[in-house]
């Protein structure tokens, strides 16, 4: 399908197979209703006959709705914006000016992949989520549409250039990209085995408990005798059961971590280009991101002891937020970078990077005092109750406060804030180490915070705000922070580069 043959100024429709995509989306609600009906019928079999009468009209309605969702959805490109029309019961027109477009993503979940379709998402500045999504395009048409949008966007930023010339420039930039990394199956396995398994297991446990709690009345009513029997057997096993459950939980957490990594980062490919970074990743849901280098606000590296042993560290690429987005959303993660990968990435994003010359160190004693006070407030009241029932446990809780305080002291010794006219770097952590790097001129605001306790010790917390969220450091010397604030604000004021 030649790109020149498509006139996007005329409203276009998605692939006809988009009806199946919409039917899949609508079917999620039908599935939830079906599960609820099964739960009801299992307790009252006399109601079994109502299931076909309830589900049949819902399924028919979902199919008709999917058809009209496809039929009423059109998209087009005008001279200065992307436009979509959609809606069945309420018609809606969405227009996104090119100047507000942050990035364009191509994604495909399992149903789209089976049908040979992809979704195109346009992320903008000033929107909480993707403001524009076209869920059922052929890959060829999606690529053509993406290139057309980028060409129109570039045309607004280059005075006196024709669209054909801009397209040629874009094609040259596409051709000059170099592959930073491409994760193999072995690399994915290494990353999965070095994940934070405790966190993965806790998240899974919370999900299971939350799901089961929604149907606990049904489960207890249906399987009360079995539950009581298993509970009695579990109580008789005592410590042996705890050991078995602990081992099973550990194995489950590791397997879940590996599975999560394979689903999220399968066939991950990172390509560095002269003006952007392209990332393709995912197994069941395949995603393609393009982040313009100018939009990147900071890079955050993280590691843990296991990952450091095999020479890996992960990095999160954080572009500017859309309105009301959290700092953790809309970030791109590369889970396994070698040292030379990191050097290439820094060279592409921050070409003039050097380790900042000026350094602020946190006060580790302040971290220890805070941790001691907080842990004592939480642990000691519980210790008093335990002492009444189980005296040996009191000894364990009595040493928890100084241990936590010592850990916090060691953490505080690793907190650093480095800065100069070029870059800002925040370093934290010893076991789970992290560092964040951003360019000084992209700083939007700087806030100093003090409480009555930090004032007494001439300390302050500092928050550095960027378009991607804030960077924080606590318990720094107040006089040094004031000096840093004045220096950085002066640096930002005299720099005329665009931070977006």
pLDDT 10s per residue in the chain (500 long)?
554 568 888 999 999 999 999 988 887 666 666 666 666 656 666 566 666 666 677 778 888 988 999 999 999 998 889 999 999 888 899 988 888 887 788 999 888 989 999 999 888 765 555 568 999 999 999 999 998 888 887 776 653 333 443 343 344 344 457 888 898 899 999 999 999 888 888 888 777 777 666 656 655 666 666 656 665 666 666 667 678 778 888 899 999 999 999 999 999 999 988 888 889 999 888 888 888 888 889 999 999 898 989 989 999 998 876 434 444 445 688 998 998 889 989 988 998 899 999 999 999 999 999 998 888 777 666 555 555 455 555 555 567 788 889 999 999 999 999 999 999 999 998 888 999 999 999 998 999 999 998 999 999 999 999 988 889 999 999 999 999 999 999 999 888 877 66
Kindly list the strands in the beta sheet with 313-319, ordered across the sheet, starting from the edge strand earlier in the chain: 332-337, 313-319, 296-302, 434-439, 423-428, 416-419, 358-361
Task: Produce one character per residue of 399-427: b if its CB has 16 or more CB atoms within 10 Å, e if not.
Answer: eebeebbebbbebbbbbbbbbbbbbbbbb
Per domain, the residue ranges of the chain are: 3-175, 190-265, 364-412
Closest CA to 293 of 303, 278, 312, 280: 278
Angle between the 239-265 and 185-193 helix axes, to the nearest 10 degrees? 140
CATH number of 3-175: 2.30.29.30
Would you mind telling me the total number of residues written for the chain in this entry? 500
CA distances from 34 to 24, 53, 212 (A): 15, 12, 17
Give residue for tokens 């993660």.
333
Residue 120: its pLDDT value, please? Answer: 93
CB 351 within 8 A of CB 305: no
* H/E element, 475: strand 469-477
Per-residue pLDDT, 482: 95
Minimal CA–CA distance to 427: which of 361, 334, 475, 340?
A: 361
pLDDT at 382: 54
CA 406 to chain CA centroid, Å, is 32
For the question of whether the overall pTM of this predicted structure is more than 0.85, the answer is no
Please, is 368 exposed, middle or buried when counting C-beta atoms within 10 Å of its C-beta (0-12, 13-18, 19+)?
buried
Give me the pLDDT at residue 174, please: 45
Tokens for 166, please give them. 């801009």
Judge contact between 133 and 118, C-beta under 8 A. Answer: no
Backbone dihedral angles phi then psi of residue 300, each to the nearest 5 degrees? -125, 120
């Amino acid at each position: 399908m030649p790109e020149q043959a498509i006139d996007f100024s005329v409203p276009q429709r998605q692939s006809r197979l988009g009806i199946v995509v919409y039917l899949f989306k609508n079917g999620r609600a039908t599935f939830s209703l079906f599960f609820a009906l099964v739960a009801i019928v299992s307790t009252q079999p006399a109601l079994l006959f109502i299931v076909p009468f309830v589900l049949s009209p819902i399924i028919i309605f979902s199919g008709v709705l999917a058809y009209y969702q496809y039929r009423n959805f059109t998209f087009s490109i005008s001279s200065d914006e992307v436009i979509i029309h959609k809606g069945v019961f309420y018609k809606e027109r969405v227009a996104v000016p090119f100047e507000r477009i942050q990035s364009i993503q191509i994604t495909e979940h399992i149903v789209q992949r089976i049908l040979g379709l992809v979704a195109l998402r346009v992320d903008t500045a000033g929107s909480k989520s993707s403001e524009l999504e076209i869920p059922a395009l052929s890959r060829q048409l999606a690529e053509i549409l993406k290139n057309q949008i980028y060409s129109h966007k570039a045309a607004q930023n280059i005075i006196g250039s024709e669209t054909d010339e801009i397209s040629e420039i874009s094609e040259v930039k596409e051709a000059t990209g170099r592959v930073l990394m491409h994760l193999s199956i072995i690399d994915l396995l290494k990353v999965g085995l070095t994940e934070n398994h405790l966190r993965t297991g806790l998240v899974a446990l919370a999900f299971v408990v939350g799901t089961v709690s929604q149907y606990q009345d049904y489960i207890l009513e249906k399987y009360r005798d079995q539950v009581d029997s298993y509970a009695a057997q579990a109580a008789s096993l005592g410590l042996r059961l705890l050991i078995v459950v602990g081992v099973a939980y550990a194995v489950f957490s590791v397997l879940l971590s590996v599975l999560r990594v394979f689903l999220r980062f399968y066939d991950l490919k990172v390509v560095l280009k002269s003006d952007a970074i392209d990332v393709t990743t995912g197994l069941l849901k395949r995603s393609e991101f393009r982040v313009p280098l100018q939009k990147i606000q900071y890079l955050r590296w993280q590691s843990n002891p296991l990952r450091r042993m095999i020479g890996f560290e992960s990095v999160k690429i954080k572009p500017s937020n859309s309105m009301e987005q959290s700092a953790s959303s809309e970030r791109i993660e590369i889970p396994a970078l070698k040292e030379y990968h990191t050097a290439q990435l820094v060279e592409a994003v921050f070409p003039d990077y050097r380790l900042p010359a000026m350094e602020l160190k946190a006060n580790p004693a302040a971290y220890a005092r805070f941790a001691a006070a907080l842990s004592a407030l939480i642990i000691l009241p519980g210790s008093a109750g335990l002492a009444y029932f189980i005296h040996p446990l009191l000894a364990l809780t009595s040493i928890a406060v100084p241990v936590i305080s010592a850990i916090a002291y060691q953490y505080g010794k690793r907190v650093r804030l480095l800065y100069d006219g070029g870059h800002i770097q925040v370093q934290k952590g010893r076991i789970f180490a992290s560092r964040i790097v951003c360019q000084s001129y992209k700083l939007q605001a700087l806030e100093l915070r003090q409480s009555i306790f930090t004032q007494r010790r001439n300390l302050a917390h500092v928050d550095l705000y960027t378009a991607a969220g804030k960077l924080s450091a606590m318990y720094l010397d107040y006089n040094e922070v004031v000096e840093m604030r004045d220096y950085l604000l002066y640096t930002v004021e005299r720099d005329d580069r665009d931070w977006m």
